[in-house]
Each structure stands twice: as structure tokens, then as C-alpha cells.
């Protein structure tokens, strides 16, 4: 009796399995043959880039450092110079290390001038070198020669060199 019960149970399990198999056999597959086939990734944001101002075709960064301080991955850096004309801060370098960026968008949210955005939703961006994944956000503007990238800079003030105790400076 127990033996007959096991046989019936086996057939039942087999028929349930085959029913599920046949149901999915006629359904459209959810997978794609990557990389020949690609699907749009609606929720992928893309790497951080500078917004291009419609009026000036320039970037909107004022080098305030807010994004740098906020970034939880510490993957942003900028450098500034001084304008030779009025001594104002001039952005001279802005880089984002895409290898470390978590695409959290916090830098975009804190930016007071809305200078940052997610760009290029290319979700399979790869590189053979780490250097290519450190993105130079100013580069496209420098290539175009936008006004903000052409501001003449004042010569950098040399940093004071620490003098060892007891050296130099004769009093007589």
C-alpha cells in the first residue's frame, strides 16, 4: 500500500513539474542575449558630469566644495586658482573617480548651482586602465574653450618653506 502511494506521489510531482515547464516553454524569455541584445536600464543613473548651461555653454560650478565634503565615497576632487583680473576663485580641475562612485546623487542634491547631473546611462562602461575611469569633468569645456576655462590665472603664491630651528637668519 505504501509502495503504491509513493508511485502516485511520484507521478503527481512529475505532472506538476511538467505543467510548470510547459507554461514557461511558450512564454517570452525574460533574459536577453547580452551583449548582442540590450535593454534600456531605466533605473541606472550614469556617471556624474557637469551640466552645460544653455545660455553660456559653460559649466555652473563655483568651486564651493560642498559636493566634495558631502561625497560619502570621497571620490571627488577639485583644484582652484585665482583670477589674474579680480582675484576670484577659478575652477582649474574637477575629477570624479568612477571606480569609487556609488551613484548616490548626494553631490547633485547639495550643489547650490545645480552644476552636476548623472549622464550617459551606459551601464556597461568598462576600461582596461584605471586612469580612464577617473573622469575629468572640466575636459569637455576646456576642449570647447568656454569662457570660464580661459580666465587668465594669477601666478600661484609659493608656499612658505619651513625653516629648521636654528638655521638661517643672522641677527647681525
Residues making contact with ligand SF4 (CB under 6 A): 48, 61-67, 70-73, 75-76, 78, 96, 101-107, 110-113, 115-116
Q: Closer CB to ligand SF4, residue 9 or residue 105?
A: 105
Taking the least distance from each CB to ligand SF4, the nearer of 57 and 105 is 105
Closest contact distance (angstroms) between CB of 77 and ligand SF4 is 10
Q: Buried b / exposed e across 87-100, counting CB within 10 Å, b at 16+?
A: eeebbbebbbbbee
Residue with cell 583680473: 85
Q: From the CB of 53, what's the least distance to ligand SF4, in Å?
A: 12
51: helix, strand or coil? coil
Beta strands in 84-163 (DSSP E): 89-97, 116-118, 134-136
Contact between 7 and 80 (Cβ < 8 Å): no
SS3 67: helix
Nearer to ligand SF4, 134 or 171 (CB): 134
Instruction: Output the nine-digit C-alpha cell for 117.
Output: 547631473
The grid coordinates listed for 165 are 630651528
Find the shortest distance in angstroms from Cβ 62 to ligand SF4.
Answer: 5
| CB of residue 20 to ligand SF4, shortest distance in Å | 42
- How far is the C-alpha of 169 from the C-alpha of 127, rounded, in Å? 54
Shorter beta-carbon distance to ligand SF4: residue 66 or 151: 66
CB of 38 to ligand SF4, least distance (A): 24
Entry field: residues in the chain: 172
Q: Which is nearer to ligand SF4, 29 or 64 (CB)?
A: 64
Amino acid at each position: 500500500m505504501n509502495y503504491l502511494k509513493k508511485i502516485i506521489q511520484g507521478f503527481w510531482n512529475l505532472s506538476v513539474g511538467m505543467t510548470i515547464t510547459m507554461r514557461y516553454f511558450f512564454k517570452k524569455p525574460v533574459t536577453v542575449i547580452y551583449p548582442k541584445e540590450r535593454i534600456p536600464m531605466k533605473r541606472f543613473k550614469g556617471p556624474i558630469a557637469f551640466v552645460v548651461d544653455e545660455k553660456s555653454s559653460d559649466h555652473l560650478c563655483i568651486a564651493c566644495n560642498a559636493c566634495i565634503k558631502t561625497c560619502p565615497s570621497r571620490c571627488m576632487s577639485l583644484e582652484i586658482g585665482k583670477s589674474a583680473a579680480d582675484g576670484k576663485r577659478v575652477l582649474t580641475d574637477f575629477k570624479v573617480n568612477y571606480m569609487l562612485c556609488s551613484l548616490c546623487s548626494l553631490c547633485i542634491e547639495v550643489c547650490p548651482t545645480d552644476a552636476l547631473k548623472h549622464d550617459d546611462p551606459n551601464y556597461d562602461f568598462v576600461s582596461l586602465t584605471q586612469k580612464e575611469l577617473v573622469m575629468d569633468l572640466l575636459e569637455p569645456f576646456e576642449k570647447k574653450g568656454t569662457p570660464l576655462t580661459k580666465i587668465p590665472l594669477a601666478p600661484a603664491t609659493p608656499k612658505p618653506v619651513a625653516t629648521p630651528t636654528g638655521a638661517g637668519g643672522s641677527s647681525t
